[in-house]
Structure 1
Amino acid sequence: MTYDVEAVRGRIPALRAGVAHFDGPGGTQTPASVIEAVTAALSNPLSVRGSVAPGEINAETIVREFRRAMADLLGARETGIVSGRSATQLTFDIARVLARSWAPGDEVVVSRLDHDANIRPWTRAAEQAGAVVRWADFDPATGELPVEAVTALLTDRTRLVAVTAASNLIGTRPDIAAIAGPVHDAGALLYVDGVHYTAHVLVDVEALGADFFVCSPYKFFGPHHGVLAASPHLLETLRPDKLAPSTDTVPERFELGTLPYEALAGTRAAVDFLADLAPDGTGDRRTRLRAAYAEITAHETALRAYAETGLSALDGVTRHSRAALRTPTTLLTFEGRAASDAYHFLARSGVHAPAGSFYALEASRHLGLGDTGGLRVGLSPYTDTEDVDRLVTGLAEFLRS
């Protein structure tokens, strides 16, 4: 069955506005089914979780369905799924808890390829514990982060390695599974930022070897919040700060206050939306997700090649996304022209391709782009060839202007 991008687009109300969206790495547009799920959660009785009143039962059902859906999406266990305000907040929370066991002279490895949300929580925690920060550098010429760039830094004092599964700036996908083995052999934990990765690749936390894996549903059609997946056994060993009356059960001990039930309902609907993209619609949700992601990957890979062919024909354009294995996300800069000017020029014609470093400050600086970054072109499952044609035409006009 051929991937029907027009059918996908027809299920996303915001696309009716006529904007060509290349801002998926910053957040996808929302399907009608997700909007309806959020509305239903808020339209029906809703209270704190419980088992007596209708509002309590609805809240409990929403939470359980959310955990089940995210477990299916990430290849994780339901009791290892933690909801948080954002991936950044979840990472800071875990960093504070883990750092309590660190001692002066212990070591933490971070990558310059990463979003700052998987760097600063660890460098701050290391600073407060007296631990040493070691930096894994990617190759700015190729965009690659070799396995050895990380594993060569490991010692018997390494306590944690933090690395992205996919760069939100240039799309590079490091070999996380190959990194995980040496990290664990060194007795360290592996914290993986999967925010950009999860939008394009079906996650299998166990196969990746990630001890912690964090993502953001609004990058894959859901509401704005964060989700962390980890082994329930590992979570049982951690004691975060919490209120005295709140439960000590995992994963609830990591979720402070009342959960955003409407966001969780929307996230469950987003996972179902993805599963519905499977060609034949048979099998359990994990099976359908596997088939759906195969379709998405084929569509995005072909469209990326189409886009790069058009972009390569433009003079004075540098493409910084060159890794052999990468997401359909491309960072561009322009000879003698500011990327921010291209962003504003395109926006006037209804093409949204934002410019900046997108919180990947270390990556932008390592590429020689300072804090300015470039124009980021991110493809999504609803991007079509007409969108790409509008982008390439718009950039050609910009370069002539």
Structure 2
Amino acid sequence: MTYDVAAIRARFPALASGIAHFDGPGGTQTPRPVIDAIAAALSAPLSNRGDGTPGERNAETIVTESRRALADLLGADPAGIVFGRSATQLTYDFSRALAKSWAPGDEVVVTRLDHDSNVRPWIQAAESVGAVVRWVDFDPATGELTVDHVRAALSERTRLVAVTAASNLIGTRPDLPAIARLAHEVGALLYVDGVHHAAHASVDLATLGTDFYVCSSYKFLGPHLGVLAAAPALLETVWPDKLLPSTNVVPERFEFGTLPYELLAGARAAVDFLADLSPESVGTRRDRLVATYSALGEREDVLRTRIEQGLAELDAVTVYSRAARRTPTLLLTIADRSTVDAYRFLAENKVHAPSGAFYAIEASRHLGLGDTGGMRIGLAPYNDAADVERLLSALTKFVYR
């Protein structure tokens, strides 16, 4: 990557604490431009959206610009960007709305690789209408969820396939375009959890082939905000329960109540921040975002490789992140030791790498880790080589103390 890592780190106030953060999969630290954008939105006149007063116009501008920014990030149409409180909330909303068209005996496919937010809403929606839930397993030895695994679960009664773009627990990235083709061949919709994926890979809805893609801006340097992307024409076919006077216009019909304008402003600033990391100084914001993710991917691979090399030297450590295509996210356990104790030891040494199942409860159980999970190490754009060495040093001390 061609940018100055030290200069980038200086733009994250939280890093002044001296903590080495490997907890990015649970939420990244926030750069100053995002903080400033949130403050600016709240400092200026702000009202419900409209065109009559400065406050109304400011709100309208924030919403419009934020939709454009997230559309650039996700390779989507701004008119297909839906904002919500969280990815979980959006998935619950859409599961209930889509289930209105299901009938008893219809089938919904979920996977054991997914975060529970892309599992339980679909199970509960299916149960409410008498639809059948079919499970797709992954290989616990390799961490792979294959196209063949998905194909075996599909039938002419399949109405929806819910799958992750990247496991938040072990980083596995399934072959989404191939899965999309299989789902569409049987007439099913594909709903993709991209919460962990969008932090590490350039997204393009058409290339992925997904019908719905949901993510959260606080995983890619922004504030807590859920974002769903879909084709506007598809959204026109989905009718949520809503208040009588609220609009029927897409995408607003899915956004219940007044939007958190300051958070939208922060999400837009996070996208701009990522675009500004691009090694290319010209081109559209979309062009620069694609370049950023390519460069970040190369840099993250280098840091991840060093972590994996260091962990391989610790005989007591077992790493479960083994898929050929994966994010820089590693789940590990330590023989005869508690990863909760390891997490606390590292925290005392100003290294944050949390322990748990991280709501990927089915994946943790399928790996034989029960509901406990393990220690998760995740990289973010602000991690550097010094962070990695501190992590490995602290973990080595814990293992051998």
Q: State the TM-score, normalizing by the size of structure 1.
A: 0.99
The DSSP-based 3-state class of the residue aligned with 2:133 is strand
For 1:6 and 1:192, the matched residues in 2 are separated by: 35
Matching of residues 2-401 of structure 1 within 5 Å: 2-401=2-401
Q: Is the 8 A contact 2:67 2:81 kept in 1?
A: yes
| Amino acid of the structure 1 residue aligned with 2:164 | T
Q: Which runs of 5+ in 1 are unaligned?
A: none
The DSSP-based 3-state class of the residue aligned with 1:178 is helix
For 1:3 and 1:136, the matched residues in 2 are separated by: 41
Q: Structure 1, residues 172-213: CA drift from partner, whole Å, max 9, x if none?
A: 000000100010010000000000000000100111011000
> CA-atom RMSD, angstroms?
0.7
| Amino acid of the structure 2 residue aligned with 1:351 | V
The DSSP-based 3-state class of the residue aligned with 2:369 is coil
Cα deviation, residue 79, structure 1 = 0.4
For 1:54 and 1:36, the matched residues in 2 are separated by: 20
**Identical pairs, percent:** 68
Q: State the TM-score, normalizing by the size of structure 2.
A: 0.99
Structure 1 stretches (4+) deviating beyond 6 angstroms?
none
Moved more, 194-203 or 147-156: 147-156
For 1:259 and 1:212, the matched residues in 2 are separated by: 21
| Amino acid of the structure 1 residue aligned with 2:121 | P
| Amino acid of the structure 1 residue aligned with 2:149 | A
For 2:4 and 2:163, the matched residues in 1 are separated by: 34
The DSSP-based 3-state class of the residue aligned with 2:218 is helix
Q: Is the 8 A contact 1:3 1:295 kept in 2?
A: no
| Amino acid of the structure 2 residue aligned with 1:275 | A
Q: Structure 1, residues 75-112: CA drift from partner, whole Å, max 9, x if none?
A: 00000000000000000000001111111110000000
For 2:5 and 2:107, the matched residues in 1 are separated by: 47
Cα deviation, residue 2, structure 1 = 2.8
Q: Is the 8 A contact 2:199 2:220 kept in 1?
A: yes
Q: Which runs of 5+ in 2 are unaligned?
A: none
Q: Is the 8 A contact 1:114 1:362 kept in 2?
A: yes
For 2:239 and 2:2, the matched residues in 1 are separated by: 49
Moved more, 79-88 or 3-12: 3-12
Q: Is the 8 A contact 2:225 2:267 kept in 1?
A: no
Moved more, 147-156 or 117-126: 147-156
For 1:348 and 1:91, the matched residues in 2 are separated by: 37
| Amino acid of the structure 1 residue aligned with 2:275 | A
| Amino acid of the structure 1 residue aligned with 2:355 | A
Q: Is the 8 A contact 1:3 1:299 kept in 2?
A: no
The DSSP-based 3-state class of the residue aligned with 2:377 is strand
Cα deviation, residue 245, structure 1 = 1.1
The DSSP-based 3-state class of the residue aligned with 1:323 is coil
For 1:297 and 1:34, the matched residues in 2 are separated by: 22
Q: Is the 8 A contact 2:69 2:271 kept in 1?
A: yes
For 2:31 and 2:206, the matched residues in 1 are separated by: 29
Q: Structure 1, residues 255-298: CA drift from partner, whole Å, max 9, x if none?
A: 00000000000000000000000113211100010111111101
Q: Is the 8 A contact 1:200 1:327 kept in 2?
A: yes
Cα deviation, residue 314, structure 1 = 1.1
